Every structure is written in structure tokens, then in C-alpha cells.
Structure 1
Amino acid sequence: MLHKMLKLNHISYRNVSVAKFKVRSFASKGIIVKDLNYQYLQRSKVPTFHFQKSLPRLPIPELDKTRKRYLNALRPLLNDGQFNEALERTSNFVANEGKQLQAKLISKDKYNKHTSYISDYWFDLYLRDRVALPINYNAFLVMQNDVRPEYNNQLVRATNLLVSAVRFMLSLREEILEPEVYHLQPKKSNTQLFRTVTGLLPASLSWYGAYLFKAFPLDMSQFTGLFNATRIPMLNKDKILRDPTCNHVVVQKNGNFYVFDVLDMDGNLLSPAEIHGNLAQILNDNSKADFPLGVLTTQNRDEWANQRTHLEETGNQEVLRKIDTAIFNLVLDDVCIDDNKHKLLAHYLHTDGCNSWFDKSLSLIVTKDGVSGINFEHSWGDGVAVLRFFQDIYTETTAKPFIGPENTPSDKQITVKKLEFNLDDKSKSFVEKARKDYSDWCNSLSIDYILYEGLTKEACKKFKVSPDCIMQLSFQAAYHLLHGNYVGTYESCSTSAFKHGRTETMRPCTEKTKLFCDNLHSNKSTKQELRSIMRECSTYHSELVKQAAMGQGFDRHLFALRKIAEENDLPRPELYDSYEYKFLNKSILSTSTLSAPSVLAGGFGPVAREGFGIGYSAFPDKLGAAVSAYKAHNNSSQFVEALNKSFVDITKILSE
């Protein structure tokens, strides 16, 4: 059952009551009363990183099991001749180079018990890639609007989000943020008794105590990457800069950058009125940047690295560092979404780049009509940390906001400063070129969405099929309907139940899904026969999810073995240059889900030029997906039409 909580759409959340008491802190001018009710979003009895020491380590799969899983994933994609070649090549690899590489990987892992075998390789993979961050890597999540329209005012919502986000960060800094735990039986484990018992246990035993309650703590190591961090462009390989000593935020509006401290000299969060006042000052400035530097972060990483070096050499080092070290980026966009879903998806995925800084680990975005969300850089972490932050601040800002529409911004303690850049003609030419190139790139993209109300998450469960399987089966059926074949499909699955776990690839295109789609579109099978195949698909799908979540996939293992060969200057095994390996790893259908009550939409760009990027959710009242593609190769609206037909066909089969 452990695998269930590792699909991101199964993560559970809890509200943690804040202890109602105050402590005294000493400042240079006497004693100041510090209100802990205000400073911290949570005050957990169990320290944030209490379970970290005893988390199980990510297992290295057995080589022969990886062979079998890899071949099973290849089978529906290849003809008999291609598969026989792949079978021979893979068996030779396992019998020869694979054994040597496996031994070296196991040996290395034994000497690095503080982390997982995949963590450093995965960071390196991201940071070495030279492609631009937006569309290619950065993902987005959009919040549900507040049910009270007056609280969706841009200034009101931005102030509340900023206050709650910093309260979340302060709780994390003080290590009193509730640890992320999946409760298999919440009535038994999501209790004060659980927190008391596990909190009293030594950190080295705490995970085992949680396990006895049928609760599974998740890795919290990525959470620190949310704040005071930026990915810095460097030639060949970027770096992540972090400086948790800084107490300011950076705010963008009309291409301009503003900074102000949200914590005072004693580390206390400014009052809501003061934050409200500083943001009002920014919103009242209607000037537009002639040369918005944010668009430079939309480029190839080497090109941007060279340009950034020039900016630093021409007197902009300090202002760039202000951006890099800010707690996070707050983007105030002068754009109204007007309930236009196409506009919403395009805006949060890429915008025009002029009022963005895609290098920042986290950007909170609030439009002129109060639509709010996040665009985040991906190298530092994955969905578990982002979704937890997203859910917690949404819950607080909609349930107990600190500022309302009736509040007047304070004109006291206004400390906001506008960053000024020294731009020579060369720097200005960088901006002009980047703006044009990025506009052309964004215009080449096709984005559409589907909200299908004929089937729901609970209905899928009632029919005894996995909602995630139904979504993935529908993607396969839609692609097959359009193209008549099957392609490499990627579904992200979290391995955060393990120390420094990242993700594993789940391969949802299987022989069983192929059988279902073939029979569905040939019209040769009865609905009863199709329903039987669908349930087989669901059973097998759930098993693959379980394997991936438990660190028993094959993709990360094969990737690590390749990196071991590179590290040891060993010949590159033939397997990695084979047709079948490249075909499988060309993710034509790249899919991921981040679901929570707070999420209105989420998505990302296509991984391959010929592919689709599909962010999806099985909601309580509908099924939804955001689909992106490049117009030169695919039409996202055409795919959405095929997907709708697949949903309708599957609904008919189930309802019979």
C-alpha cells in the first residue's frame, strides 16, 4: 500500500493548529514581544527533519529485474524483428558490462549512505542541459480563485500570499513545519498520539515508529530549495546559488525589479499592513522597463551565461545578486485572464518573458484580476515540496487571510527600492534579440485543455479501475486514434519515501494498453471483453506504479549504470546507442500529475519537438488535462478532441 502515497495526486495534507502563546526576544532597544501566532504558519511538535535520519535508502534494483522490466516496456513499441534484436542486446549487456557497472554502482552507494544513488546524477543531468528553462523544464501550477471575489483583488491576494509564504518559510527555518507524512490510515496515525510518540523517539528510530502506525514519512531534503535560491547560468554546467541569510523578496512589475525586506533586523516578519503598503507602492508605479532583463532567462543556458558575465562586468553584479538571493520572486502581472483557460495556460507556462525570471527556484505570480499560481525551476526539486507549499499557502490565504479588501495600505515603513541596471548598447541588443526569439518560440507552441465531466475520480474507483490508469489509457487511445501506433511514454512517479529520492519513470504504454486500444479501434470486441481488458490494464498499471514508487523501476537504474561507465572511463555500452533505447526514451507523451483541492490547472511543455506535454488531474467532479505541443509537428486541439472521444468510449464501456 506504500506506493499509493507516492503518486502525487494521493498526497494528503493536514491543518496544524498554531500554539497560542508568545515569547520574548531581545532587540538592541529593549525587549520586544514576538507573536508566534503570526510568525509561523505551523508549530509542529515533531521537528521538520525528525524522520530524515532514519528514512530508508533508495534501493538499487537487481540487474536481471531491470532487464525484464526494460524489455516489457519495449515490447509494445517494437515489431518482432526489432524486439528480438533488443532482447539479444540487452541480455548481452546484463551478462557482460552490466555486471561490472552494477558492482561499481553498489560499491559507490555503500560509501555514500547520506544520500541516494540517483541524487547527484539527477542534479547533474538538469544542470548540464543547455536548453532554455521555460517550456522545456519549468512547470506551473495555478490556484483556484478565492470563492469571495473581493479577495481576488491583485493587491489583496498578493499581500496574503506573500505573508503566508514567508510564514511557511519561517516555520521551515525554525524546523517547526509539520513533516510531510503519508497516513495510510489517517484516523489512527494523523493524531496527537502519533506526533507525541514519534516525536519522543530518537531521530534514528523515528521512521520505524511511524511505520508501526502505518504512516510513511517522506523525504524533506528538497524543501530548503524553495527559498533564497536561483539557478545561475554557467558555461557547460549551471550552479544553484543559495543564501538563506537574506531577508528580502524581489517583486517584478512591467519588467522592473523591486526589493524590500520582509523580515526586520531581528528576523521577525513585518506586519501585514507594512507588507501591504510596500506592495501598494510597487503597484502604483506604472513605469515600464524599456529593456526588461527577465527575458534573458528564456535563452539557451550557454548564451545566457555569456550575457550574464557581460552584465556583471558592466556594473550589474550587485543588483543581480539581489535577485538571486531573494527569498523568492513575486510577479505582479498587468494582465487579466478573464476566465480564458487558453490564456491562463499560456500565461503561466511561458508569458512573454519580459516580467519573469525563470532561473528563480520559485516565482509566485498574481495577475491583474487576481489569478494566482507558481512557475518553478525544476533542477533543485520535484512536485512533493512544491505542492505542499502551494497547498499550505492556498489554504491559509483562503481560510484566514491577513488582509481584506477593507484594509488600507500603510504608508509607514515603506522600504521598497527599485533596482537600477547599467545597460550598455551590447546589453540592450541582448534583450532585443531574446525578446524576438522568445516570441517566435512561444508562437510555435500549441496549447489546449480538456475538462471532461462524464467520468470522475470516484466513479473510476466505483468501477474498480485506477483513475490514473484511466487517464493514461485515454492518452494511449487518443494517440493511437490519431497516429495508429504507440510511442515512448513517460509518467513521473515520486520516490520521496526514500532518503534523497527524486523520481522514477513509470511506463504506462504496455502490451495490455496496446491490446485494449487495438480492440477498441477495430470494433471487433464486445464492451464486456473491453471492460475485462481494461481491468487487466488497471491491475498491471497499479503494479507498475508500485514498483516505480518503491524504487523498482528500470529507467533511473540504467541511467546510473551509464553514468558509472562515464565516471570510470569505461567504454559506452552498445545498449545506450541502440535504436530501441533511444526510441523508448524519446518521450513523445510526457505526462505528470499534481493534484490537490487547491489546484485549478498545471502543466509543462513538450519534452520532444514531436511530442506532447500533458499535465493532468482526476478531480472529484471531472477529469482534466492541459496539453502542449509544437505546431510544426502536432496540434494540441486535435489531440484534445481525440482524448475527449477516448474518455467517452471508456465511459460507455464502464457504464455498461
Structure 2
Amino acid sequence: MASLLPVRCVASQRKSRINLRTALGITKQNYSSKKGSPLMHHQKSLPRLPIPKLEDTVRRYLAAQRPLLDGDQFRRTEKIAHAFQSGVGKRLQEELVAQDKNNTHTSYVSEPWLNWFLSIRYSTMLTNPFMVFNPDPKTEYNDQLVRATNMVCSAVRFMKTLQAGLQEPGVSHLNLTKSDTDDFQRVARWAPSFLSRPLDMSPFFRLFNSTRIPKRRVDELFTDEKARHLLVMRKGNMYVFDIVDRDGNSVTPAEVQSHLKYILSDPTPAAAFPLGVLTSENRDVWAGLRDKLIAAGNAEDLQIVDGALFCLSLDDDIMRDRIHLSHNMMHGDGCNRWFDKSITIILTKDGQASISHEHSWGDGLAVLVFQNEIFEETTERPLVHPGSAAAAAVDSASAVRRLQFNLDSELENGIKKAKENFDSLVSTLTIDAMEFKKGGKALLKKSKLSPDAVAQLAFQMGFLRQYGQTAVACETCSTAAFRHGRTDSIWSVTLQTQRCSHAFVFQPGRHSVEQLQAMLSECSTRHRQLIKEVIMGQGFDSHLLALEYLAHSEGEAVHGLFTDPAHTAIILDSSTLTSPAMDFAGFAPNTHDGFGLTYSIFDDWIGCTASSYPTRNVHEFLQCVHKSLEDIFTVLEGKTLG
């Protein structure tokens, strides 16, 4: 703000800045140190998400279906799609465009996407993504109490920075060497951005104090911005304490440490009827049980849970390996989680940490920004240290309250049944991981190939190698460069990837190295085109969802386009995330016939975490993916396949 101050002596300028910071309450205890534009600085200037032309969406949809169908199947799907385009689809498109013109504050996909998520009736806990933190490089700071205290304090500082409008907005840098710099950040608050694309920050208000509330047919989102307490879970028991005082200041790190130490030392046995497991139930079943909980006199305590800033789950387990860690962070034992909270920070006995987030309110962008800030601050500027004593004068026994719920026999039976259903479901889930160490981003870029295209090709090639089929493969792609944009899907199976996969898997000896290299280049070029279309708001998946939602809201019968067998469930459901704060991430498949894939591409290696149910063999699949990557890199090195 210096350029807006009147000219005065240096001492006066310094005094004015100090007074301004004091007036805003910007203290080291309350706020993270920020230097760039305020969070919503670019929000009003964000472009609106365009509605694609209906004929373009139909064309792209059919292009995505072409490699998945035989001749007769494709002709049938083509006929259905063209009938939709010239008939009911044309009218729905006109209505969608008209509605969009009357709702310029948002995007045409915002309501359909939210409704889709909140209408899911099956258990949502396994589709909640988890993102595992890297360990603190200073190993002594991975002590459970020390790391939990630092993370809670950092999270509160992030929240208060966010509420004060001082959190920097997310930016997609188009040229990192020019725009991801301190100088650019200083300039960006005063001038339009020509070197980067600001991202939509609207989901951030649901990051804290928010919970998904189960309701019959369609759930609701609840946010209590006035709440000042943290929810802590241990052994299925639920504790709360204030982490912001009545004046709006964060409580001291020593107090937080004292309260968490008190909870970790609490001799109360594991909850006989852990309420958290109810959040893993079928949504309609959970809605009915919640109504019974309220009728039994638990409304006030449920609202305390719902309004908590976030949930901290303190687990007593020590992680054996990456697979054990994945299962723990995805679902745990079901008792020490509240899967409906917007975000949950999970800390194991040995200090392994993760963030799990409920998916309806937003996508990975806000959570990743949060995770990056937490990791940077706790590893570079920790507020408590190993061996530091908790505040001696703090009365944690009075400050910490363990919630106790009134349960009748019907509710107890409901909790028992929920636990049985939870155990049955997670027992069918298998998780495995793969690390390909023979090459990565550096060699792929040197070969002028898109690293993401090669990863997607390896998944398709691996499935073909394992099952002899081409499967529906979709990759999540953010549309957050638009106002209230969410995500869309890149349907990554193309005629080019189909041809290339068959050549590598079934006919390697029939093609020269040069021919195989040319096929890889064609796949990459086509994939880049698909990414560009989706990033620019020209994907077909969200558009079709919006049209279907509009028809449903008007009480129309579902058109054959949406019941066509070609409009099928995704088999290879994937998402890529890479961050200095994150070790790896994961989620469960959305269908019992699919794989849930998260992957990261580094300069010299590629990693993937995959999950499946018994219909698919995830171990064999990752072996096939690894073999596919080996073949691809062998060809890129100019060698023939054996």
C-alpha cells in the first residue's frame, strides 16, 4: 500500500504501516506472512466459463466414443447423439444459454456439479481424496504431538489470513521464469496479469467451518463462520476446544500443545459406539439415523461437530509401509473420522500426516494451496519444538470438552450395522503403488512428448495388456481459470492411443522404432489438443451433465443419449498431482469395475498409486503399466522391442 500513502518522512511512513497492521490485527500469532495480491483480487475479472456449441459437444462426444465401440455400436450411438442434437438437445441448449445470461455471477456447471455430488447416495468416504504430506525433513519434528500442534496452529493462521483477505490467490503460471517471482507478485496487485492466469478462489469459503449434512435424496452443505473451535478425534471419541478466543485471536501454540497433550493422555477407552462410523454409511441411511440422533437430544452437539473449523484425527497406529499408510489415510478403522467434514488432518502415532477432504464443496485446488502453506510453515517456521513444554498455567481439563451423545438401542444398533458395512466395504478394497525409475519428464520433454500423454497411454496400454480390451479412461482437468469453474474430464482414449497401444502390445515386431516413435508423437499431439480444449472450457462432459440436469429439473424423461450403454462408467479414473508438500495421493474407484489412479511425473521417474475392488486385479494392472512404460522408454531410446 506504500504507493497510495501521501508523501511523508520515512519515520512517519513506518509508523503508519505499524498502525495499519495493528488496526487489522495482523500479528505473527494470527496471520501467515503474505506479500502478494489479496485472495479475491482477480475474482471479478475472471472470464466466465463458456458454454460450448451443442454441435461441438456432440462431435467431441462421438470422437471419444469411436475407439471404444465397434461399427454397429458406434452407428447406434451416432444416431442417438444426432437425434438429441437436432431435437430436445437444441431446446435444452437454448434454455441453458438463457439461464447463463441471467446468472452472470456464477458458471453454468456450478449448480449441476454440486447437485451431482450431493445426490450421491452410496457411501462417499472412499471417494474422498487423501493427500499425504511429505515427512518433515527434520525428523524430530515428526513427533505426533509436535507435528499436530504445528499443523493446527499453521491451519488457524491460514484461516485467519484467508478471512482477512490477505491470502494470495492461486495463479496458473504460463511462463514460470517470468511470472512466478517476487517482483511479479508485487506488481500483480496493481496491474492485470499478462503472464499468468488467475484461478477461481470461490471454494475457499467452504474450506473451514463446513460439513456435508446427510439428507434424504440430496445432502446439504452447512457452514458456521462464527464457530471458534477445533474438533479432535481419538479412539473414536470426539473432543472440542476453542482455538480462537472471543476477541478473534488465535490461542497460543503452547495452549494448543497443552490441549492436544491432554487428549493424547486421556485414559478414556475407545468409544463403544463411535458416532463417526455413521458418516461412512449410505447417505439415506445416515440421514435417517441423524434425525434419530437429533430426536434423542443430540442436536447441539451435532451442530458443534458440523461447525468446527476442521477435524484433527489422532491415530494410535504406526504405519508399516506405503500401502498401510494409504489405507489408513483413505479410511482408517472408520471410527476415528468424520468423513463429512470439509477437511480432516490425520496424524498417525509416528507423525505421518495427511489431508482428507469431502469432495462436494470443491476440488483439489483449495486443498493443495492449504497443504502447501501448512507444509512450508511447519517445516520452515515451526511454532513449537521437540522438548518444548506445554503451557504450565493452562487448565486443559476445563478447556477441552469430550462430547457425549445420548444413544438409545436403535441408534446403537445403527452404529453397529454401520461398522459392519464399513468393514465389509473396505475389506474389498485393494491398494498398490508403482515406481518407474527408468525415466521421466526430462527424457519425455527432450523427445518432444507430453509427459501426461505418455502416462495416460501407459494406463491404456497396461489395461489392454491385462484384459485385451480398450477401456474408458478419463483424467480430471481443472477449469478453475474461469469464474466458478470446477473440473471437466479429458477422455484420453483416442484413435491414436488405440492404434499405438495395439502396436506396442500385440504387434511390436511389425513396426520399426521410427514408426513406433511416430505413433507416440501422434498420441501426444492429440492429447495436447484435448487438454487445451478442456482447459479453455470446451470439454463435453460437464456440458452434457448440465443439459441432463436441466432436463431433469424440468421433469423431462431422460433422453436416450444418457441411457445409451456407450455413456458408460469410467474404468480408468485418474488424476495427477505434484507438490513439494505432498508425498502421494489417492482415492477409491467410483465404480466396482474400475481403477482409481493418482500419479506424479518427476524429472527422472514416474509414480502411481492405484486402487480397485475384486473385479479388477490392481497388482497385475500396475505390473502391466510398468511394462508399458518400459517399452515406451525403450523405443524413445532408439532400441527395438524384444
TM-score (norm 1): 0.91
Aligned position for 1:417: 401
Comparing 415-424 and 170-179, the one that deviates more: 415-424
Tell me how far 1:351 sits from its aligned partner: 1.2
Letter in 1 for 2:590: V
Aligned position for 1:3: none
1:515-548 per-residue CA deviation (whole Å, 9 max, x = no partner) reads 0110011222222211110111011111101111
Tell me how far 1:46 sits from its aligned partner: 2.1
Tell me how far 1:440 sits from its aligned partner: 1.1
Inter-CA distance 83–441: structure 2 relative to 1 (3 Å threshold): same
Aligned position for 1:330: 312
8 Å contact from structure 1 (residues 22, 34) kept in 2: no
Aligned position for 2:545: 559
Tell me how far 1:466 sits from its aligned partner: 1.1
1:116-146 per-residue CA deviation (whole Å, 9 max, x = no partner) reads 00001111111111111111x2110001101
1:50 to 13, 22, 41: 41
Q: Provide the C-alpha distance between the structure 1 equivalents of 2:17 and 2:602, rounded to a whole number of angstroms.
A: 36
Matched length: 617
Q: Provide the C-alpha distance between the structure 1 equivalents of 2:68 and 2:401, rounded to a whole number of angstroms.
A: 57
User: Does 1:652 pair with 2:642?
Assistant: no
Aligned position for 1:237: 218
Q: SS of the residue aligned with 2:324?
A: helix
8 Å contact from structure 1 (residues 21, 36) kept in 2: no
Q: Provide the C-alpha distance between the structure 2 equivalents of 1:217 and 1:374, rounded to a whole number of angstroms.
A: 24
Identity across matched positions, percent:
41
User: Does 1:111 pair with 2:102?
Assistant: yes
Aligned position for 1:215: 196
Q: Provide the C-alpha distance between the structure 2 equivalents of 1:146 and 1:635, rounded to a whole number of angstroms.
A: 34
Q: SS of the residue aligned with 1:580?
A: coil
Letter in 1 for 2:560: E
8 Å contact from structure 1 (residues 42, 178) kept in 2: no
Tell me how far 1:619 sits from its aligned partner: 2.4
8 Å contact from structure 2 (residues 21, 27) kept in 1: no
1:370 to 321, 340, 351: 351
Q: SS of the residue aligned with 1:438?
A: helix
Q: Provide the C-alpha distance between the structure 2 equivalents of 1:345 and 1:196, rounded to a whole number of angstroms.
A: 40
Aligned position for 2:451: 467
User: Does 1:181 pair with 2:162?
Assistant: no
User: Does 1:138 pair with 2:128?
Assistant: yes
Tell me how far 1:193 sits from its aligned partner: 5.3
User: Does 1:573 pair with 2:559?
Assistant: yes
1:547 to 522, 533, 536: 533
1:321-368 per-residue CA deviation (whole Å, 9 max, x = no partner) reads 111000000010001113x01101111111110100000010000000
Q: Provide the C-alpha distance between the structure 1 equivalents of 2:554 and 2:415, rounded to a whole number of angstroms.
A: 42
Q: Provide the C-alpha distance between the structure 2 equivalents of 1:155 and 1:294, rounded to a whole number of angstroms.
A: 22
Aligned position for 1:158: 148
Q: Provide the C-alpha distance between the structure 2 equivalents of 1:314 and 1:328, rounded to a whole number of angstroms.
A: 25
Tell me how far 1:187 sits from its aligned partner: 4.0
Aligned position for 2:137: 147
Q: Provide the C-alpha distance between the structure 1 equivalents of 2:34 and 2:375, rounded to a whole number of angstroms.
A: 18
Structure 2 counterparts to residues 92-491 of structure 1, below 5 A: 92-135=83-126, 137-191=127-181, 194-200=184-190, 209-210=192-193, 213-287=194-268, 288-338=270-320, 340-413=321-394, 414=396, 415-491=399-475
Tell me how far 1:609 sits from its aligned partner: 0.9
Aligned position for 2:622: 640
8 Å contact from structure 1 (residues 277, 412) kept in 2: no
Tell me how far 1:38 sits from its aligned partner: 2.5
Aligned position for 2:9: none
8 Å contact from structure 1 (residues 333, 366) kept in 2: yes
Aligned position for 2:583: 600
Structure 1 segments, 4+ long, off by >6 Å, are 22-26
Q: SS of the residue aligned with 2:125?
A: coil
Q: Provide the C-alpha distance between the structure 1 equivalents of 2:256 and 2:17, rounded to a whole number of angstroms.
A: 23
Q: Provide the C-alpha distance between the structure 1 equivalents of 2:514 and 2:588, rounded to a whole number of angstroms.
A: 37
Q: Provide the C-alpha distance between the structure 1 equivalents of 2:30 and 2:471, rounded to a whole number of angstroms.
A: 51
Letter in 1 for 2:474: Y
Q: Provide the C-alpha distance between the structure 1 equivalents of 2:293 and 2:237, rounded to a whole number of angstroms.
A: 16
User: Does 1:60 pair with 2:51?
Assistant: yes
Tell me how far 1:419 sits from its aligned partner: 1.0
8 Å contact from structure 1 (residues 594, 616) kept in 2: yes
1:405-428 per-residue CA deviation (whole Å, 9 max, x = no partner) reads 021112333311111111222221
1:613 to 585, 596, 610: 596
Letter in 1 for 2:293: L
* Structural RMSD (CA): 1.7
Question: Unaligned regions of 5+ residues in structure 1, if any?
Answer: 1-18, 27-32, 202-208
8 Å contact from structure 1 (residues 22, 36) kept in 2: no
1:46-70 per-residue CA deviation (whole Å, 9 max, x = no partner) reads 2211111111000000111111111
Q: Provide the C-alpha distance between the structure 2 equivalents of 1:388 and 1:587, rounded to a whole number of angstroms.
A: 28
Aligned position for 1:625: 608
Q: Provide the C-alpha distance between the structure 2 equivalents of 1:21 and 1:594, rounded to a whole number of angstroms.
A: 40
Question: Unaligned regions of 5+ residues in structure 2, if any?
Answer: 1-15
Q: SS of the residue aligned with 2:388?
A: coil
Q: Provide the C-alpha distance between the structure 2 equivalents of 1:368 and 1:543, rounded to a whole number of angstroms.
A: 46
Q: SS of the residue aligned with 1:402?
A: coil
Q: Provide the C-alpha distance between the structure 1 equivalents of 2:131 and 2:125, rounded to a whole number of angstroms.
A: 14
Tell me how far 1:571 sits from its aligned partner: 4.1
Tell me how far 1:244 sits from its aligned partner: 0.9
Tell me how far 1:20 sits from its aligned partner: 9.6
8 Å contact from structure 2 (residues 35, 186) kept in 1: no
Aligned position for 1:78: 69
Letter in 2 for 1:548: V
Aligned position for 1:520: 504
Inter-CA distance 49–389: structure 2 relative to 1 (3 Å threshold): same
1:564-610 per-residue CA deviation (whole Å, 9 max, x = no partner) reads 222333443221222222x3xx1111111121121111010011111
Q: Provide the C-alpha distance between the structure 1 equivalents of 2:47 and 2:632, rounded to a whole number of angstroms.
A: 39
Q: SS of the residue aligned with 2:346?
A: strand
Comparing 520-529 and 38-47, the one that deviates more: 38-47
Q: SS of the residue aligned with 1:579?
A: coil
8 Å contact from structure 1 (residues 42, 168) kept in 2: no
Tell me how far 1:35 sits from its aligned partner: 6.0
